Amino acid sequence: MKIVITDGYSANPGDLDWNAFESLGEFTVYDLTPADKLIERTRDADAIITNKALFTEEILKQLPKLKYIGVTATGFNVIDLDACKRRGIPVTNVPEYGTFATAQMTVALLLELTNKVGLHNASVKDGGWVRSEQFCYWLEPLTELYGKSIAVVGMGKIGSRVAKIAEALGMKVLPVPHRITDPSEEYTFEEAIPQADVITLHCPLTPETTNLINSSSLSLAKNGVYVINASRGPIVNETDMAEALRRGKVAGFGCDVVSTEPMKEDNPLLTAPNTVITPHIAWAARETRRRLLDVVASNLKGFIDGKDGKDINRVNM
């Protein structure tokens, strides 16, 4: 079997090994594959492992040997699933690998906004504490999270983990699953937002959640609310968020994702105040990426061994 990884650098920039894949067949890995090289590099592949490379109907027509696509992610919107199904090509993903790391990043973004560790560390390193006449000082107000309410929008595995951490900090959790299962214990989005001191987003990107956070929904929120997005960029209307930050409606916005990645220089969040932005690295802990690659390899091995369906995390059954 000829195996091609189209864009392996993001998951493995060199600090992990590819041994599990090398044992499955003739194996080639590219750090990144530009669109104009995709056909050339994958034309003879039996199996393709990809992250962001786009496999459309037109691309698939030119890959007659292709039998399998594995995605090194949970999301698989870069693959035309129907076109693959018509050709008998299973597409697999990794449904859960970054729960702990993403929850950790979510809380890190929130704590950076409320405790301003980076700001004060930079000040100390610049000599601010050495010059201070007082034994302590702070450059901006700090915020205690104990007793405050946090709306967790999307109570899947990541959202549930964030909720547990928030409870450990003494916060009141307002759970908002994107499908209400028990209204007696959970809140609708419209019920939770006006009560929340913090809104954190962990829902999938769907037509219903695109632009979920916009000027209209923010008008329901408290003045000075904090918003965290570690799910998908388009869930937040970035123009509306930047304006809300400038007006002080939103006290701080932390995100690990934006609407277009890599980030564009005209993204309004770049010039908005009170933001903390990281470059989609919630999943990037070495332990997390090792777990990801192990499952991707296991999916492919299962396919080679004749398994299908949920046994290999197939998403186009």
Bridge pairing between strands 26-29 and 275-277: unpaired
Domain extent at residue 140 = 99-277
Q: Are 9 and 32 in contact (CB under 8 A)?
A: yes
CATH at residue 58: 3.40.50.720
Residues 142 and 194 in one domain: yes
Q: Does the annotation mark 43 as catalytic? A: no
Q: Is residue 249 part of a domain?
A: yes
Residues 168 and 212 in one domain: yes
Collapsing DSSP to helix, strand or coil, 1 comes out as coil
Residues 84 and 128 in one domain: no
| Matching residue, tokens 């008008």 | 219
Q: Is 85 exposed, middle or buried (0-12, 13-18, 19+ CB in 10 A)?
A: middle
Residue 186 confidence (pLDDT):
84
Residues 85 and 151 in one domain: no
Q: Is residue 180 part of a domain?
A: yes
Out of 58, 208, 261, 287, pick the active-site residue: 261
| 10-residue averages of pLDDT along the chain (317 residues) | 97 96 96 97 98 96 97 93 97 95 98 98 98 97 98 95 98 85 74 98 92 98 98 97 98 98 97 98 97 98 97 96
Q: Is residue 299 part of a domain?
A: yes
Q: Is residue 317 part of a domain?
A: no
Collapsing DSSP to helix, strand or coil, 216 comes out as helix
Total number of domains in the chain: 2
Q: Are 29 and 5 in contact (CB under 8 A)?
A: yes
Q: Are 124 and 183 in contact (CB under 8 A)?
A: no
Residues 42 and 175 in one domain: no
- Tell me the C-alpha distance between 279 and 268, whole Å: 15
Q: In this structure, what is the dihedral angle of CA atoms 129, 134, 136, 141, given to the nearest 10 degrees?
A: -100
Single-letter code of the amino acid located at 184? S
Q: What are the two backbone dihedrals, phi and then psi, of residue 69, each rounded to the nearest 5 degrees?
A: -130, 125
| Matching residue, tokens 């750090």 | 31
Q: Does the annotation mark 232 as catalytic? A: yes
Structure tokens at 179: 């499908």
Q: What CA–CA distances, in Å, run from 317 to 70, 86, 200?
A: 14, 10, 32
Residues 60 and 201 in one domain: no
Residues 61 and 123 in one domain: no
> Alpha helix (H) ranges present in 72-132?
81-86, 99-115, 117-125, 128-131
- Tell me the C-alpha distance between 198 and 148, whole Å: 8
Q: Is residue 196 part of a domain?
A: yes
Residues 153 and 139 in one domain: yes
Out of 280, 289, 291, 314, pick the active-site residue: 280
Residue 185 confidence (pLDDT):
67
Residues 265 and 207 in one domain: yes
Q: Is residue 145 part of a domain?
A: yes
Query: Which runs of E-coded beta strand occur in the chain?
Result: 2-5, 26-29, 47-50, 68-71, 91-92, 149-153, 172-176, 198-201, 225-229, 250-255, 275-277
Residues 104 and 209 in one domain: yes
CA 61 and chain centroid, separation? 31
Residue 179 confidence (pLDDT):
64
Structure tokens at 242: 């930047």
Q: Are 251 and 225 in contact (CB under 8 A)?
A: yes
Residues 167 and 256 in one domain: yes
Q: Is residue 20 part of a domain?
A: yes
Q: Are 44 and 23 in contact (CB under 8 A)?
A: no
- Tell me the C-alpha distance between 37 and 180, whole Å: 45
| Residue 23 neighbours by CB under 8 Å, 6+ apart | none
Q: Which residues pair with 79 in a beta bridge?
A: 55
Collapsing DSSP to helix, strand or coil, 40 comes out as helix
- Tell me the C-alpha distance between 189 and 50, whole Å: 35
Instruction: Report the predicted TM-score, pTM, of the whole model to 2 decimal places.
Output: 0.92
- Tell me the C-alpha distance between 111 and 311, whole Å: 39
Q: Does the annotation mark 280 as catalytic? A: yes
Length of the chain: 317
Residues 257 and 109 in one domain: yes
Q: Is residue 198 part of a domain?
A: yes
